[in-house]
Amino acid sequence: MAFLDFVVALVVRGGTVYDVRRKRRRFVVRFRKGNAEFMSQFLIHGGKPLRGEITASGNKNAALPMVAAALLTDQEVILENVPSILDVQCMLDILEHLGASVSVEGSEVRICAAQVRDPEIPYSLCERVRSSFLFAAPLLHRTGRAHLHPPGGDQIGRRRLDAHYYGLRGLGAEVEVGSFEFQLQGRFKAATLFFDEASVTATEHVLLAAVVADGETTLLNAASEPHVQDLARMLVSMGAKIEGLGSNTLVIEGVESLQGTRHRLVSDHIEVGSYLALAAATGGELTVHGTSRGHYWMINRVFERLGVQLDLYSDRICLPGNQTPRIIMDEGRVTPTVDDGPWPQFPSDMMSPLLVLATQAEGSVLFFEKMFESRMYFVDPLIQMGANVIVCDPHRVLVTGKTGLRGQTVRSPDIRAGMALLIAALCAKGRPSVVQNAQILDRGYENLEEKLTGLGADILRE
């Protein structure tokens, strides 16, 4: 009875209990009040090789803009293979606030936005997820107005919205930057636009406007990541006319309206890469099913640079066991560099997990994070765990391995750094590690504990 009283007290104080489960003779309650969550940390006994098989989840960064795209039509949109993660739930909450009906059954999500209420998204919803900003274009198409607030998301450095404003203004919208107010008279008007950076979310956002614009729009220096291509394929299935998929130039012939559709999301190459790094760092072996080989060419090259072999097949990736990671020097015995860039270059989201793998490889390698000036800050707790890492500047760190990591209490600053620290904890020996702020990983990784436990990890959420 005391346990039930405790749960009731949390709800009375203004929160929501959204998960209750029993683990090892104790109840674990996940409680949210606003954007805060409690009882969210992992207790990890590391030092064990992880082995087994998993199936890749649906792509997080495809699901988020697709949920916003469902607002472009008043007909039903059915999305398959949608990951069950917090960021997706936040986007669905926004849709429901705007008047759409939403139903979720397993990994299938049904959305019908036949009616749209007052096109204002409150601060409490906008701050929960960065992709909340993607609702501006669909709201302008449906109602001619949108009122948003600053979007949330990971604090990994400056994340400009300039390309969004540039694109929406170029297509005829009126934008009040300070108040996040948007107005549109009639339809969007086609234009030729050149992005000063190949921004993924800006490309997706402007694409949502261009497909219903009057005339032919050309997007130059557009992002071409797998999730951007998948969003475009979904829009084409809704009746959009888009050419240039997979390239940095998109040509869109606008249509007056879009129809409903059923679309299956591609798998998440960042999630897959994270688990491959995890298995390699712990000295294990792994098979990941449900992958697309073309999404992993550059990721595979970086694993090769760290002396790790991957076997790429059309529908799966295998990491063989009994490997000893070893940094492969560049010609002339020069220290190699791992750097990120727009697709098809190495994804920025993979920098943190691969950096931890490098601590378990023999040799030295320089990691050069070009896109976000705060992403590398997570190396401080990694050094505390025993990693040999020299911070050159906010963008560059030199990693020398192999080093033995020891259990520590650390805190997840963002989704990918959280996964990196989780990998480090699973490598660490000695006392158990505690990874605090664990709920942040639920924003990007589906069924995390279940997948890790299935691979042999000793992990408990408290």
Q: Which residues contact 215 (CB under 8 A, 6 or more apart)?
A: 189, 190, 253, 254
- Indicate if 87 belongs to the active site: no
Q: Crossing angle, helix 226-237 and helix 60-69, to 10 degrees?
A: 30
Total residues found in the chain within this entry? 462
Say whether the peptide bond before residue 33 is cis (omega within 30 degrees of 0).
no
Ranges of beta strands (E only) in 326-449 are 337-339, 363-368, 388-393, 396-401, 409-411, 433-436
Single-letter amino acid, residue 277: A
Distance of alpha carbon 325 from the chain centroid: 27
Q: Could you give the CA distance from residue 383 to residue 393 in angstroms, rounded to a whole number?
A: 15
| Cβ 363 vs Cβ 433: under 8 Å | no
Q: Exposed, middle or buried: residue 140 (CB in 10 Å: 0-12, 13-18, 19+)?
A: buried
Q: Which of 5, 19, 118, 154 is catalytic?
A: 154
Pairing of strands 261-264, 76-80: parallel
Residues catalogued as catalytic: 154
